[in-house]
């Protein structure tokens, strides 16, 4: 016969009486009741609370109501949750008033709030947000050597106004490198240097004019986009008057068969952002066929194509049809976003319009940085750095997977064959509370919901997008421990 929660309190948690009353519904009432039990001393620090299911059955409420209440109190610092240890009253939380004075110091009634609360003001101690490489791993010595050579060997005209197309030295070097490493087919005159992907979007779509949506740029909407992507890019496009049409995603990438009368489509074919996985070969061919039939263009965001671990390299989509694909890359993931260097590989018909949009002089990308990058790539330093970081990030990926398997085996981790981040699938209804808990525990994380297109046909899924590249190596272990500490229990 199954034991009731009350009869098994010593094994699974504390037996206590809770009165659920007051405004705000059952969840708000349960949160108030638990806070009052802690403040009044009926729940002492370290006391283990019953599991969601047991307390829900005892109180006659839904399991999610208890889970949300626990998560809210974890986020506020009243409770702690750890896999294998359950949910407990936080060690530093003291009653509002006890009237006793001990050897340890002042009366316990002096503490009215959880000791974890100040962490919010201090900012995150562990940065696990996506999008950034390990800043401490920047190859300072090799970059300094390339920069010194570039300055010493640069012709005098390099110190004048910059060519908006970018330095010829860099465009020639990129032509060779992109062909060798990514399968891109181009020549120097079809490459335009920019400051990164966002700058490329601004040049391509401009800003809306009275001529209509997207009328001020090289390209016009509507633009097909993947159902999950960076909200910043969607906002940039919306500001330019470009209507975006979300495409559903599955394990094979974007469902490109849904494309219709769009004038262009933006894809991350090598590694879908943020869910992971490459675009299936049949869909790669299908989107090229669509572009040819419609006279449309494909924008390829190759944001981290250099980093793959458990799969064969996936070449650039651009190699299938250089006249129908605009290939966009940068060094923001491979080296550093601080360099502000990127490139567009354009079909010939778009080169002059993009240069016109950019202006007569280079106003974005440092000419000296361009020359240094050309030397850095040509001398082999870039390849060596990428190989070294590929190994380092793979080790970090493996440590993340191992930590989750040990401390949170109920959490599914996906999108780990390539890139600098992983997606953690959470139990339904727990993403928001998990992010709150992370803030109070000093862990910076991204929720999956933030990347979902507001008109996405896909159902909302709770999850975290965990960047395992950003923390310095010496801080990574503590960051993983903190991450596991804020995940919802199974």
CATH at residue 403:
3.90.1150.10
Same domain, 33 and 84: yes
Mean pLDDT, residues 61-81 taken together? 80
Q: Does any domain span residue 17? A: yes
Q: Provide the domain count of the chain.
A: 3
Q: Does any domain span residue 1? A: no
Query: Given this model, what pLDDT does residue 102 score?
Result: 37
Q: Does any domain span residue 157? A: yes
User: For 261-280, how does the pLDDT look when each residue is reduced to its tens digit (9 = 90+)?
Assistant: 999 999 999 999 999 889 99
Rounded distance, CA 227 to CA 85, Å?
38
Q: Does any domain span residue 224? A: yes
Mean pLDDT, residues 119-147 taken together? 84
Q: In the listed set 379, 400, 430, which residue is the last one of a domain according to the structure? A: 379
Q: Does any domain span residue 341? A: yes
Query: Given this model, what pLDDT does residue 16 score?
Result: 57
Provide the domain limits for residue 370.
139-379
User: For 213-236, how does the pLDDT look when each residue is reduced to its tens digit (9 = 90+)?
Assistant: 333 579 998 999 999 999 889 999
Same domain, 44 and 170: no
Same domain, 394 and 446: yes
Rounded distance, CA 190 to CA 171, Å?
9
Q: Which long-range contacts (CB under 8 A, 24 or more apart) does 211-218 make?
A: 212/241, 213/241, 213/242, 213/243, 214/240, 214/241, 214/242, 215/241, 216/240, 216/241, 217/357, 218/350, 218/353, 218/354, 218/357
* pLDDT over 90 at 329, yes or no: yes
pLDDT higher for 100 or 479? 479
* Residue 60's pLDDT band (cuts 50, 70, 90): confident
Same domain, 185 and 224: yes
Tokens of 489: 């229990």
Q: Does any domain span residue 362? A: yes
Which of 52-66, 202-216, 345-359, 447-461 has the largest mean confidence?
345-359
Same domain, 398 and 369: no
Rounded distance, CA 49 to CA 128, Å?
29
Same domain, 291 and 338: yes
Q: Does any domain span residue 454? A: yes
Q: Does any domain span residue 188? A: yes
304, 418 Cβ separation under 8 angstroms? yes
Say if strands 421-425 and 463-467 run parallel, antiparallel, or are unpaired.
Answer: antiparallel
CA-closest candidate to residue 94, choices 115, 75, 117, 121: 115
């Amino acid at each position: 016969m199954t034991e009731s929660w009350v009869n098994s309190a010593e094994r699974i948690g504390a037996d206590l009486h809770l009165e659920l009353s007051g405004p705000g519904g059952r969840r708000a009432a349960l949160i108030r009741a638990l806070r009052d039990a802690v403040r009044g001393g009926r729940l002492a620090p370290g006391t283990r609370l019953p599991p969601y299911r047991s307390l829900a059955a005892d109180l006659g409420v839904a399991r999610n109501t208890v889970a949300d209440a626990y998560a809210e109190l974890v986020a506020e610092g009243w409770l702690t949750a750890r896999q294998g240890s359950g949910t407990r009253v936080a060690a530093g939380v003291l009653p509002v008033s006890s009237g006793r004075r001990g050897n340890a110091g002042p009366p316990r009634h002096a503490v009215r709030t959880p000791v974890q609360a100040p962490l919010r003001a201090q900012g995150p101690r562990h940065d696990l947000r996506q999008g950034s490489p390990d800043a401490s791993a920047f190859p300072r010595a090799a970059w300094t050597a390339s920069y010194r050579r570039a300055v010493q060997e640069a012709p005098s005209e390099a110190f004048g106004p910059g060519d908006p197309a970018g330095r010829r030295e860099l465009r020639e070097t990129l032509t060779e490198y992109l062909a060798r490493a990514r399968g891109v087919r181009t020549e120097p005159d079809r490459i335009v240097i920019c400051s990164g992907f966002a700058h490329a979007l601004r040049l391509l779509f401009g800003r809306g004019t009275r001529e209509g949506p997207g009328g001020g740029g090289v390209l016009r909407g509507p633009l097909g986009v993947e159902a999950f992507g960076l909200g910043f890019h969607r906002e940039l496009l919306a500001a330019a008057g470009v209507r975006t049409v979300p495409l559903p995603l599955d394990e094979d990438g974007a469902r490109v068969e849904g494309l219709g009368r769009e004038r262009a489509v933006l894809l991350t074919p090598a590694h879908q952002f943020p869910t992971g996985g490459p675009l299936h070969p049949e869909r790669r061919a299908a989107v090229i066929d669509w572009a040819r039939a419609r006279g449309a263009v494909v924008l390829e965001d190759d944001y981290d194509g250099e980093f793959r671990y458990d799969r064969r390299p996936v070449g650039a989509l651009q190699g299938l049809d250089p006249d129908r694909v605009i290939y966009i890359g940068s060094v923001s993931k491979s080296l550093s976003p601080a360099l502000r260097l990127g490139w567009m590989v354009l079909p010939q018909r778009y080169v002059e319009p993009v240069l016109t949009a950019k202006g007569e002089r280079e106003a974005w990308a440092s000419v000296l940085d361009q020359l240094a990058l050309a030397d850095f790539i040509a001398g082999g330093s870039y390849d060596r750095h990428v190989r070294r970081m590929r190994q380092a990030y793979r080790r970090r990926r493996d440590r993340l997977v191992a930590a989750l398997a040990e401390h949170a085996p109920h959490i599914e981790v996906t999108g780990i064959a390539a890139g600098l981040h992983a997606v953690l699938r959470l139990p339904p209804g727990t993403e928001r509370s998990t992010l709150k808990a992370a803030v109070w525990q000093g862990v910076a994380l991204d929720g999956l919901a933030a990347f979902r297109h507001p008109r996405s046909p896909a159902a909302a899924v709770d999850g975290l997008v965990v960047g395992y590249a950003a923390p310095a190596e010496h801080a990574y272990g503590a960051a993983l421990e903190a991450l596991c500490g804020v995940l919802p229990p199974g």
